[in-house]
Amino acid sequence: MLGIFALSLSSFQAYSISKIISFLYAYTFFGSLFILKNFKKGTDLKFPKKLEISKAEILFLFLFSCLTFYLYAEFPTKYLDGGRDQGLYAIFGVTISKTGGLNLEVPDTGLIRNIFGDSIRLDYPSISSPIEEGFSEPETFRAADFFHLFPVYLAIAYDLFGIEGIFRVNALFGTLSLCFFYLLSRRILGTWSSVFVVILYVFNSSQLWNVRATFSETLAQFLIILTGYLIQCFFRSQDRVSMFLIGIVLGLASFARVDSYILVIALASYSGFFLIYSEKYFVSSIYLFLSFFMMCILSAGYGLLYSKLYMFHLWKAGPLKLVGGLGLLSLLLIVFEIFLWQRCGSFLEKLKETFAKNKRFFRFSILAFIIALGLFAYFIRPLLTVYIPGVTKTKFIKPNSLPIFLWYVPVWLFIFLIFTFDRFLFRKKDISSAFIFFIGIFLLIAYLANPSINPDHFWASRRWMLFSIPFAILGSMIGIRSIQIRSRIWKLAFLILLGGSAFVYTIWRSKIILFQPMLQGYVEGYESFAKISPNENSFYFTTKRAISSPLRYIYGKNVFLINDSEGFLNKVPKLLELGKNVYIIQNGGFSGVKKNLKFTHISDLDLRGNFPIESVHRYPEFLYHKNLNLQFYRIEETKLPVLPEKIQFDWNPAQAGFLSNVGKIEEDGTISATRHQGSLVYGPYLTLPKGKYRIEFVGENLQKADFDVSYDKGSVSLSKLEKGDSENSKIVSFEIKNSIINDLEFRVFVEGKSGVKIKRIKLDRIL
């Protein structure tokens, strides 16, 4: 209720924390009046005479919930990168708080367009200009490529607790999910097995990572788990009104995530299951489907009104066409099911009889198909794409999705998931929990077939965290419990052995992030910069996508993204002539780049924090210092020609913005090769003017490494790939012929077990 009320206010540009607090007071007041009125009338409110769980379980759940909230809230990932989703959600939350709605206007659009033309971008990552797409909106208007339910919760947290509150919103949703996941699991498995399930769930590295960041999947996960538990509670009563309301609860997820629409096909299959297996529950499942479908239509209508550019992008790219097709297919399937139920009773009876007579055949056929599908996904599908250096991440993650999924759920646990099919489809146990089975299986298969994201480290698990990983943990434990072992002692020992080994595996996987906050210095870095950088009559320019939207929408800086550095610098004098203060934020100097422009170093924008190594082809084993070290320059015209100055850098690699895919970051800043092959060092995405340069790598075993210099995300080389020619030093010479180059990288490649270490990196302009 709170989220929908806040979303409604923000849609009408009327959000404010005072209205939210007033709503909470009114909701509490009228709710209390309703309860008192019913007590006075003597109405039987049907409070349960006995608690659902024992006092010991309540104590465990309370203490474990406190531990869970501590793990989620005390070690957040303070991600304020405007180029990725969690940073953008934070930006939108602050924007709603500050403006009362999603007002992303850029007032100086016309001025910048007239002066700089195509050399400046007028949009930001996932913050688009509708006029560029042909929509008739004011040129200052910007639109977000997101739905807004999750950002309104962030807005409330920002109003109450400031920027730090934003990073703790998901800790609340994650802790609530734990409570309902335990209650849900307990109805299927009993007490002890459910304790194993929630421990594996909470300490799972994917869960820890995603809940600690501002991802909308955590909210959607909570709604799915809550829906599963509510269906268990109301299932036996066949209360159709309750099922309709439960469908609305699940449908709220469609206001947070567009991919929630794909659940309609799972709910249609869920209804078909009851039509064949337990017809008396069929009508209730139809009510569930219809209310969820109605909510999806409402959210789509909301999107067309308030996120039409986002919907346009999704339609153009294809995902919205896919979910639209699935929605139509599911609706046709429901109509067909209702037709069979009303008009073809005899056909359904024959179908049931055929299934009952051939149950064994169907049982082994389906199980054999699932086993074959799993073997194909694990052993054969990865061979269909051979990794070549430079191949896109998507082309690796998609065929390797199952092996990567098993980073998070141990294989010896996952194989027991197959017995869950037998339990629900053929033995017809826990029919009230069939919703969990259908939603879980559908999301697991769908996101293994296509994870639909370009991953590195835990990004690979973002879609799986939604419900695939929790379901795999729960389903595996259900499968283990389903195995027929006569001796209770042996069965308990078997459960403890598998569950205990899975716990050890889970802790081992999550150890690098378990008690480690990420990017802890990012907020301080932004705030320090905001204090020393002027706002009045000031314009800021940068090529760094990551900082552009946070500086504009959170910290109020008039920032624009540079599309063409040389073209931009040529036109800066026109803006200076208007009496404007012009600043540029880059990594690197501008010595001699323009003889009529003087670049005065004012200060730095220094963003620091630990982060898992951004590997793609293996689970991250180490943390590195993710340091974005940028310099802040004032640009002024000068009548005296500016002569080139000396350019010289001496970097400690791990503390100067260099990254690694396969290296271990030592405490002294050294980057050491591990047993893996790949990029040992790359970065620091430097800006340099025209000239001849020499880069020297200092370290150990450098004769076993290859070196090069490139820019434009590694697509353009400034030096050929050179083999190391001595043990402790390697010098690479290169020339920049353009007036200026951005995002320059110095790269080191190693084979497995090379023993290479990079201790220092030195750069000099020699001419």
Q: Is a pLDDT exceeding 90 seen at residue 216? A: yes
Phi, psi dihedrals of residue 490, rounded to the nearest 5°: -65, -40
pLDDT of res. 47: 47
pLDDT of res. 225: 97
CA–CA–CA angle 609, 104, 310 (5° rounding): 90
Q: Is a pLDDT exceeding 80 seen at residue 394? A: no
State the pairing for strand pair 648-651/610-612: unpaired
Between 54-63, 283-292, 491-500, the lowest mean confidence (pLDDT) is in 491-500
Kindly state the DSSP code that residue 483 receives in the 8-state scheme: S
Using pLDDT thresholds of 50, 70 and 90, give the confidence band for residue 390.
Answer: very low
Calpha distance 72→66 (Å, rounded): 10
Q: For 421-449, what is each residue's pLDDT tens digit? A: 888 887 777 888 999 999 999 999 999 99
Q: What value does the mean pLDDT take over residues 490-502? A: 85
Q: Is a pLDDT exceeding 90 seen at residue 207? A: yes
Q: What value does the mean pLDDT take over residues 103-120? A: 94
Q: Is a pLDDT exceeding 50 seen at residue 389? A: no
User: CA dist 377 to 36, 406, 420, 639, Å?
Assistant: 58, 12, 19, 67
Q: For 689-707, what is each residue's pLDDT tens digit? A: 999 999 999 999 999 999 9
Please say whether the beta carbons of 473 and 413 come within 8 A: yes
Q: What value does the mean pLDDT take over residues 536-552? A: 94
pLDDT of res. 492: 79
pTM over 0.75: yes
Q: What value does the mean pLDDT take over residues 234-262? A: 90
User: CA dist 694 to 680, 708, 718, 733, 734, Å?
Assistant: 20, 12, 12, 4, 6
Q: Is a pLDDT exceeding 50 seen at residue 577? A: yes
State the pairing for strand pair 143-144/127-128: antiparallel
pLDDT of res. 458: 67
Using pLDDT thresholds of 50, 70 and 90, give the confidence band for residue 715.
Answer: confident
- List the structure tokens of 150: 């999750």
Using pLDDT thresholds of 50, 70 and 90, give the confidence band for residue 392.
Answer: very low
Q: What value does the mean pLDDT take over residues 108-117? A: 94
Between 308-322, 343-357, 375-389, 693-707, the lowest mean confidence (pLDDT) is in 375-389
Which residues make Cβ contacts (< 8 Å) with residue 372, sequence separation at least 6?
none
Q: What value does the mean pLDDT take over residues 484-508? A: 85
What percentage of the chain exceeds 70 in pLDDT?
96
pLDDT of res. 41: 58
Q: Is a pLDDT exceeding 80 seen at residue 338? A: yes
Using pLDDT thresholds of 50, 70 and 90, give the confidence band for residue 29.
Answer: confident
Q: Is a pLDDT exceeding 90 seen at residue 748? A: yes
Q: What value does the mean pLDDT take over residues 39-67? A: 75
User: CA dist 224 to 76, 384, 436, Å?
Assistant: 23, 34, 9
Please say whether the beta carbons of 728 and 700 come within 8 A: yes
pLDDT of res. 164: 95
Between 155-169, 448-462, 568-582, the lowest mean confidence (pLDDT) is in 448-462
Q: What value does the mean pLDDT take over residues 360-378? A: 90
pLDDT of res. 391: 43
Paired residues of 560 in beta bridges? 541
The two counts, helices (H) then strands (E), for the chain are 29, 20
pLDDT of res. 42: 53
Q: What value does the mean pLDDT take over residues 216-221? A: 96
State the pairing for strand pair 538-542/581-586: parallel
Q: Output the 3-class SS for 138-149.
A: CCCCCEECCCCH
Q: Between residues 644 and 516, which one has the greater pLDDT? A: 516
Q: Is a pLDDT exceeding 80 seen at residue 43? A: no
User: CA dist 265 to 293, 296, 713, Å?
Assistant: 10, 12, 40
Using pLDDT thresholds of 50, 70 and 90, give the confidence band for residue 130.
Answer: confident
